[in-house]
Amino acid sequence: MQNVVAEEQFCELTRRVRRRLLDLHFAAKVGHIGGNLSCLDALLYLHHHVLADGDALTLSKGHSVGALYVALWSAGKLTDDDLESFYRDGTKLSGHPAAGWSPDILFSTGSLGHGLSLAAGVALGRRLQGKPGRVFCLCSDGEWQEGSTWEALTFARHHRLDSLTVLVDGNGLQGFGDTQSVASMGDLAQRIAGFGVDVREIDGHDVAGLQEIAEPASNGPRVFVMKTVKGKGVPFMEGKMEWHYLPMTEEQYRLACQLVQQ
């Protein structure tokens, strides 16, 4: 029964924060809402059920920083006033993560493909310094079309960085189409497993799947390929490539707000 209650509470949290994310992006008149919605559940689960003092998170898919901001807001680390400054002149809450002002944002990211390298470096650095804590990296599925990501995976596996957990937002869409049409890789999880890495496929919108993220690894890095839906929670956005880019009109915003409460 406790698991049922926890799931209901998490779903309610997700609805509330999803609405705040819509408010955030509509007020700023910016896009990338689809990819923010696909990874929001994972970021909320991390901030409310996994991350502890001493842990670190790198958001490699930096264009989904809105989801990170509202996750930090929901955890009491950002205020409503902070969110009001999103995307405005002089803000700390820029359209991609900007490092240097928050201990929760270690790196400036957005040029996709280098976040995993940064996270792997943090994991190795902490080991060499004898520092505790786990390191998480959230990246997009499209980033696995870039050589730097595979180099980082090789590095992490070679050094057996068991403090490193990689989450792949596998929504199947990117800027120019679906990931298989742009640069087909077949079964991504199978390819990653070929590097001798512990890889699992989970539902990135389901508490039962997300719970596996909390399990520590013991023999090198762990990768979770999350099956997600671009635009999750807003039916007219779900699985639509255009919501990689488009900002919402006022009519779309009002409809989206109604739908996320259902």
The three state secondary structure string of 200-254 is EEEECCCHHHHHHHHCCCCCCCEEEEEECCCCCCCCCCCCCHHHHCCCCCHHHHH
Each residue of 4-17: pLDDT tens digit? 448 889 999 999 99
DSSP 69-95: HHHHHHTTSS-HHHHHTTTSTT-SS-S
Q: Where are the domains of the chain?
A: 2-260
> Which pTM was predicted?
0.95
Q: Measure the CA–CA gap between 226 and 245, rounded to whole angstroms.
A: 22
Which amino acid, residue 82?
A: D
Predicted pLDDT of residue 173: 82
Residue given tokens 């002089």 in the structure block: 90
* pLDDT < 70 regions, the chain: 1-5
Predicted pLDDT of residue 2: 42
Asked if 161 and 120 count as a contact pair (C-beta separation under 8 A), the reply is yes
Predicted pLDDT of residue 217: 82
Predicted pLDDT of residue 5: 41
Q: Measure the CA–CA gap between 191 and 194, rounded to whole angstroms.
A: 5
- Residue 50 has a CB neighbour count (10 Å cut-off) of 18
Residue given tokens 């509470």 in the structure block: 9
Q: Measure the CA–CA gap between 61 and 65, rounded to whole angstroms.
A: 8
DSSP 44-67: HHIIIII--TT-EEEESSGGGHHH
CATH entry 2.40.10.170 includes domain 2-260: no
Predicted pLDDT of residue 186: 81
Question: Would you state the structure tokens that stand for residue 44, as one six-digit string?
Answer: 């909320």
| 200 bridge partner residues | 224
Predicted pLDDT of residue 49: 95
